[in-house]
């Protein structure tokens, strides 16, 4: 059973976190059948945390977890904080495959999307 | 003369800021002819600042400046900080049209892009 976790930064502003949750829901509809579940986790300032979301996925029966960092630039959150948290959960759940994808900002399709906006 | 400014958060990690600058360059190539120039500005932790980038565009002869917030979620930076900075520069340059676009995260094309990554 494979679960996707969209990992966002988190904000003090609830509408910002709800925006991410809504996007995750849209993504889940698009991916129907490819993942048993698509959820959101936040690095800070909002819940659930990344460890909590991973633990919940494992408790729900996931044996494969894919994490997509919903970040644009490879700052310290992407380069250090998120990999550290995932590494810790890997040790806690040795039977679960965890794949940390490249962050959104690394997508080659971003320039085309930006060009469509301006 | 119309200039596009991609407004990013900024990071203490130079590679992160360089990633944004490289994306801006790719975007500039895609937009060739639509803008006289495409530049990057940072809200914090990196240079140039948003006011500095606006002032530089005006000094270069821009009478129209379009700002694209390279942010995923409408946190306080997008909802408050960037609009305030742009409003201040509007007052300083009353003859220059400044358009603050919706942030990247508001794009309806994002779910499709995310689906392609996972």
CA distance A52 to A15: 21
Q: What is the pLDDT of residue A50?
A: 98
Which of B75, B76, B101 is the best mutation test for A, with the most CBs of A within 10 A? B75
pLDDT in tens, B72-113: 988 889 999 999 999 999 999 999 999 999 999 999 999 999
CB contact under 8 A, B73 and A19: yes
Handedness of CA B82, B87, B92, B97 (dihedral sign): positive
Nearest CA-CA distance, residue A75 and chain B, Å: 5
Helix (H) or strand (E) holding B46: none
Q: Residue A9 catalytic?
A: yes
Residue A46: which of A14, A71, A80 has the closest Cα? Answer: A14
DSSP string, B59-117: HTT-SEEEEEE--SS--HIIIIIHHHHHHHHHHH-TTSEEEEPPPGGG-TTHHHHHHHH
In chain A, which residues have their Cβ closer than 8 Å to the Cβ of B34? 118
pLDDT over threshold 90, residue A45: yes
Q: What is the pLDDT of residue A73?
A: 85
Residue A40: which of A5, A11, A71 has the closest Cα? Answer: A5
In this complex, which of A8, A34, A73 lies closest to B11 when CB atoms are compared? A73
CA distance A2 to A61: 9
Strands of the sheet containing B2-8, edge to edge, are B37-42, B2-8, B64-69, B97-100
Q: B110-117 vs A110-117: helix axis angle to the nearest 10?
A: 180
pLDDT in tens, B19-66: 999 999 999 999 988 999 999 999 999 999 999 999 999 999 999 999
């Amino acid at each position: 059973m494979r679960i996707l976790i969209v990992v966002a930064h988190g904000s003090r502003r609830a509408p910002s976190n709800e925006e991410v949750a809504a996007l995750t829901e849209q993504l889940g509809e698009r991916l129907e059948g490819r993942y048993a579940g698509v959820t959101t986790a936040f690095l800070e300032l909002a819940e659930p945390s990344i460890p909590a979301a991973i633990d919940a996925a494992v408790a729900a029966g996931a044996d494969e977890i894919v994490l997509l960092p919903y970040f644009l630039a490879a700052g310290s959150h992407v380069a250090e904080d998120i990999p550290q948290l995932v590494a810790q959960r890997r040790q806690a759940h040795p039977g679960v495959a965890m794949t940390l994808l490249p962050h959104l900002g690394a997508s080659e399709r971003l320039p085309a999307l930006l060009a469509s906006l301006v």
